């Protein structure tokens, strides 16, 4: 057991820093890889779509440092990024950092709610299916979850709006700003993840139930509930946590589409708007933010898993 938790954490953090550096190069590359002249693209956007003159472009290049060697441009750009300067959105003229901050909290609200809803659906479903495995209950629950995984979420969003907002009038069909607004979009994201997680909870529990110490516990005459809570659940925790970590990415993908349908001002919709509008500074900012979030969530999940099950952390 050479690697203590602290040492592991250090190693993982160092790895995360390497990834962040790579991410920053990728982010910088967006503007370099752009078809056409970056200076001209930015200037055209500033001029509300009118084509700037060649002189104006040349002046802009010189005054904004576009003629410097790439490494120097990169360092200057990185300095800006680290101090929160991500440029200005072509579409709104606001700083990208302001755009991202608002969108991040909206997406966090949406995906966070969806995550909780997903757990509330998937955990009971998965546990029930595992406990009654092989029975009709199991079959039905797993059948429902495979249907849940197969329904396109943008379509489900529209059907939910038709049904819950228009026919029943229970919930607002789109928008932002009150708890009622978050319910429908979060439910769509939750249901499309819940099926998979339920199935995984079920299989992890079944695997854990087969472990020798679980049989021993039963042999000692412990109750089913007791065994499930104290002997099965801990064994199934690590794989379930891994999957939940992966769900963060899956749910964000879900949010991209769902936010657009429900006019939720989150990162997903910002990203879609930026792609359709060729809003490169926003695109770049979104890439950096999503990448950083992914790296940090990974780090968190890794550390959480090592804390729960030291054998795993030690081996990697």
Partner 1 sequence: MRSDASLRLVRRVRVPVRRPRPSAGLVLLLAMALLVVVAPALAPYDPSATRFLDRLEGPSLAHPLGTDPLGRDTLSRLLTGFGHTPVAAAAVVALSLLIGAAVGLVSGLAGGAVDRVLMRLCEGVLTVPALAVALIVAGVLGVSLTAVVIGLSAVHWAEYARVIRNMTLAERARTHVTAAVALGAHPVRIALRHVAPALFGPVLALAAFSFAWAVLSFAGLSFLGLGSPPGSPEWGAMIAEARTHMRSHPLLVVAPGLAIAGLVLAANLAGDLLSDGLGRAPDHFRMP
Partner 2 sequence: MIRSRALAALLLATIAAPLPAKAADDTLVVGTMWESLPLNMGARRSRFFNESEILDTLIKLDYDMNLVPGLATAWERTSPTTWRFTLRDGVTFHDGTPFNAAAAKLSLERVIALLPYAADLLNIETITAEDPETLVIETSEPFAALPNQLTDAITGIYAASSFDADGKFVKPVGTGPFEFTEYAKQQQTVTERFDDYWGEAPALEKVVYRFIPDHNARTIALETGEIDLAINPLPADVKRLEANDDTTVYAEPSAGLYYGSFNVAEDRPTGDVRVRQAINMMIDRGLVVDAALEGVGLPATHFFSPSFGLVPETAPSYDYDPDAAAALLEEAGYAKVDGVWQKDGAPLTLRVLSYPTRTEMPLITDAMTALLAEQGVMSDVGMFTFEGMMEFVKAGDYDIAVVFWTPEMTGHPDLHLKSQFHSAAGLNDTNWASPVFDAAVDKGRTLDPGPERDATYLEALTALHDDAVVIPLVHKVYTAAARSEVKGFRVHPSGFFYDLKSVSKQAD
CA distance 175 to 180: 10
Binding mask 23-62 for partner 2 (x = CB under 8 A): -------------x--------xxxxxxxx----------
9 touches which of partner 2, partner 1, none (CB within 5 to 8 A by kind)? none
210 touches which of partner 2, partner 1, none (CB within 5 to 8 A by kind)? partner 1
CB nearer to partner 1: pick between 125 and 257: 257
- DSSP assignment of 135-196 equals SHHHHHHHHHHHHHHHS-HHHHHHHHIIIIIIIS--S-SS-SSSHHHHHHHHHHHHHHHHHH
N-term to C-term CA, the chain: 12
Residue 315 interacts with partner 1 (CB under 8 A): yes or no = yes
11-46 burial, b if ≥16 CB within 10 A, otherwise e? ebeeebeebeeebbeebbebbeeeeeebbbbbbbbe
- Least Å distance, CB 2 to partner 2, is 28
Figure out which of the listed residues 60, 90, 200, 252 binds partner 2, where binding follows CB under 8 A: 90
Q: Which residues contact 303 (CB under 8 A, 6 or more apart)?
A: 5, 8, 9, 12
CB nearer to partner 1: pick between 62 and 213: 213
Figure out which of the listed residues 174, 278, 292, 303 binds partner 1, where binding follows CB under 8 A: 278
How distant, in Å, are the alpha carbons of 139, 149, 195, 197, 255 from that of 122? 15, 12, 7, 6, 19
Residue 202 interacts with partner 1 (CB under 8 A): yes or no = yes
Figure out which of the listed residues 1, 2, 35, 83 binds partner 1, where binding follows CB under 8 A: 35
Segment interacting with partner 2 (CB under 8 A) among 70-78, 169-177, 218-226, 284-292: 169-177
310 touches which of partner 1, partner 2, none (CB within 5 to 8 A by kind)? none
CA distance 135 to 211: 21
CA distance 137 to 143: 10
59 touches which of partner 2, partner 1, none (CB within 5 to 8 A by kind)? none
CA distance 134 to 1: 40
CB atoms within 10 A of CB 228: 20
CB nearer to partner 2: pick between 87 and 172: 172
How distant, in Å, are the alpha carbons of 36, 48, 201 from that of 53? 15, 14, 62
Figure out which of the listed residues 11, 61, 64, 133 binds partner 1, where binding follows CB under 8 A: 133
The DSSP code for 95 is B
CB nearer to partner 2: pick between 122 and 227: 122
CA distance 93 to 38: 17
Which stretches of the chain bind partner 2, using CB under 8 A? 36, 45-52, 90-94, 98, 102, 105-106, 108-109, 112-113, 115-116, 119, 161, 165-166, 169, 172-180, 182, 261-263, 265, 273, 276-279, 300, 304
Which stretches of the chain bind partner 1, using CB under 8 A? 15, 19, 30, 33-35, 133-134, 138, 146-147, 149-155, 158-159, 162, 166, 192, 196, 199-200, 202-203, 206-207, 210, 239, 242-243, 245-246, 248-250, 252-254, 256-257, 260, 268, 271-272, 274-276, 278, 280, 283, 286-287, 290-291, 294-295, 297-298, 312, 315-316
């Amino acid at each position: 057991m050479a690697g203590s938790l602290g040492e592991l954490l250090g190693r993982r953090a160092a790895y995360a820093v390497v990834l962040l550096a790579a991410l920053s190069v990728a982010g910088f590359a967006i503007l370099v890889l752009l078809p056409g002249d970056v200076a001209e693209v930015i200037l055209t956007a500033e001029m509300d779509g009118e084509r700037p003159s060649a002189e104006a472009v040349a002046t802009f290049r010189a005054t904004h440092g576009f003629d410097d060697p790439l490494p120097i441009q990169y360092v200057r750009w990185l300095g800006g990024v680290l101090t929160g300067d991500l440029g200005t959105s072509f579409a709104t003229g606001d700083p990208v950092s302001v755009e991202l901050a608002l969108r991040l909290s909206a997406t966090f609200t949406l995906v966070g709610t969806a995550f909780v809803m997903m757990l509330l659906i998937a955990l009971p479903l998965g546990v029930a299916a595992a406990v009654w495995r092989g029975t009709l209950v199991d079959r039905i629950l797993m059948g429902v979850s495979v249907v849940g995984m197969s329904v396109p979420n943008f379509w489900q969003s529209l059907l939910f709006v038709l049904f819950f907002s228009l026919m029943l009038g229970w919930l607002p069909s789109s928008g932002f700003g009150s708890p009622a607004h978050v319910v429908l979009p979060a439910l769509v994201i939750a249901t499309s993840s819940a099926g998979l997680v339920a199935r995984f909870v079920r299989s992890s529990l079944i695997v854990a139930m087969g472990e020798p110490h679980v049989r021993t516990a039963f042999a000692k005459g412990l109750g089913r509930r007791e065994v499930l809570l104290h002997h099965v659940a801990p064994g199934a925790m690590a794989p379930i946590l891994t999957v939940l970590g992966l769900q963060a990415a899956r749910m964000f993908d879900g949010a991209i589409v769902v936010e657009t349908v429900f006019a939720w001002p989150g990162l997903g919709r910002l990203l879609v708007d930026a792609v359709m509008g060729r809003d490169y500074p926003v695109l770049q900012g979104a890439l950096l933010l999503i990448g950083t979030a992914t790296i940090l969530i990974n780090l968190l999940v890794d550390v959480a898993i090592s804390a729960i099950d030291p054998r795993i952390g030690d081996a990697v």
